[in-house]
Amino acid sequence: MAVPKKRTSKMKKRQRRSHHRLAGLNLARCAHCGAAIRPHRVCHNCGQYKGEAVVQMDDF
């Protein structure tokens, strides 16, 4: 089994992990009600997708 020859320094470890943060959410506006929505998903406020009511919101 491969074994590291040298212990990784704190700096090298932290430099490597500096890229591990999560990217922020990409948000768009609902064309119908203007609420912030995630792209390619039904609007949670009005149930519309691409200008069509695909979820009847009074069901919930």
Q: Which residues bind Zn ion (CB under 5 A)?
A: 30, 32-33, 35, 43, 45-46
Residue among 12 and 29 whose Cβ is closer to Zn ion: 29
Which lies closer to Zn ion via its Cβ, residue 15 or residue 28?
28
Q: Report whether 46 contacts 57 (CB < 8 A).
A: yes
**Residue 37 C-beta: closest distance to Zn ion, Å:** 7
Three-class DSSP category at 48? strand
CA atoms in the 13 A half-sphere facing the CB of 13: 5
Q: Which two tokens stand for residue 5?
A: 């020859």
Residue among 2 and 25 whose Cβ is closer to Zn ion = 25
